[in-house]
Amino acid sequence: MVDLHITDETSRLKAVVLGTAESSGPVPLPEEAYDPKSLEHILAGTYPAEADMVRQMDGFASVLRKHGVTVFRPEVIRDCNQIFSRDIAFVIDDKLVEANILPEREREFQAIVHVLEHLDEDQILVPPEEVHVEGGDVMPWKDYLFVGTYTAPDYADFITARTNRAAVEYLQAHFPNRKVKAFELRKSNTDPRRNALHLDCCFQPVGTGLAILHRDSFLNPADFQWLLDHFGPENVFEIDDEEMYRMFPNVFSISPEVVVSERGFTRLNHWLRSRGLTVEEIPYAEVGKQGGLLRCSTLPLCREK
């Protein structure tokens, strides 16, 4: 049994749901792609093999367990991609919010219900239909709730626009003790170098006051500047377009001292170590071909109080 408790991104992790690549199904058709990076690899014939993704995710699970984390996995649904558990739900404080995800993915939430059976009814929030939100766009951080959004009139044209204005209002209403700060993200259905699928694809806090940040993923320069000022330029690792494409921000914190990162992120991993963090490097690039990486694969349930 796990008590829900998530107040930030980096406190010591106690329990997490890690997605699964088992029985993730055949290579999708181009028109079935959820994001431009998956589309790119489908068209190029480089879409990842299930066995490679299973191996990489099992390696992630081993690192988590090495650090004393209780790791839950979803029930396996045949021929269903269940890798990115961050998309389907997220925890803020002692509440679990069921994400309003793409209709094709609703089965994924049912596959983690066994983990949530002990929760009280009032601990699970189910937003109304008009509230679109996914966990990759939501980050509790101290007094704040950082939320990635897209609110332009052409919202409905973008399969990559996952969190709307109604979600910001919903979160503010249900977490009145938090200052909800929304950031407009750049979206593209076809160009993975011009698309911030979620907030955690272009920004993430690490350690006790550090952050990874990509300038051009924010539609409003003032949003980028706010984050730069909030953390302080000396505490921010700013990445370029290619590093954003490779998903440098999408690492995962086990504690303020320990970060799990892709082994190919040489420049980032060196910077993290230079700031005193332990970096657990693992191969995860095959999973990354689907537009998400380490944070996307996790649904943290409890961090130390």
* Domains of the chain as residue ranges with CATH: 13-303 (3.75.10.10)
How large a percentage of the chain has pLDDT more than 90? 84
Q: Is the pLDDT of residue 244 over 90?
A: yes
What was the pLDDT predicted at 104? 65
Q: Is the pLDDT of residue 106 over 80?
A: no
Distance CA 38, CA 53 (A): 14
What mean pLDDT is predicted for residues 222-249?
97
What was the pLDDT predicted at 53? 97
Model confidence pLDDT, tens digit, residues 183-212: 999 999 888 999 998 999 999 999 999 999
Q: Is the pLDDT of residue 117 over 90?
A: no
Strands 138-141 and 124-125: unpaired
pLDDT band, residue 298 (cuts 50/70/90): very high
Model confidence pLDDT, tens digit, residues 262-295: 999 999 999 999 999 999 999 999 999 998 999 9
What mean pLDDT is predicted for residues 139-156?
94
Say which residue the tokens 């219900």 belong to.
113
What mean pLDDT is predicted for residues 45-65?
97
Task: Of 26-35, 66-75, 92-101, give the range with the top mean pLDDT.
Answer: 66-75
Q: Is the pLDDT of residue 107 over 90?
A: no
Strand partners, 147: 138, 182
Q: Which residue type is seen at 25? A: G
**How far is CA 255 from its chain centroid?**
16
Q: Is the pLDDT of residue 102 over 70?
A: no
Q: Which of 100-109, 141-150, 279-288 has the lowest mean pLDDT?
A: 100-109
What was the pLDDT predicted at 101? 67
Average of per-residue pLDDT values in the chain: 95
DSSP state of 28: P
Distance CA 7, CA 146 (A): 12
| Sequence-separated (6 or more) residues with CB below 8 Å from residue 58 | none
Q: Is the pLDDT of residue 110 over 90?
A: no
**Any long-range contacts for 226-229 (C-beta under 8 Å, 24+ apart)?**
226/181, 227/183, 227/203
Q: Is the pLDDT of residue 151 over 70?
A: yes
Strand partners, 16: 71, 300
pLDDT band, residue 156 (cuts 50/70/90): confident
14 exposure class (CB count in 10 Å sphere: 0-12, 13-18, 19+): middle
Question: H or E stretch including 54?
Answer: helix 50-66
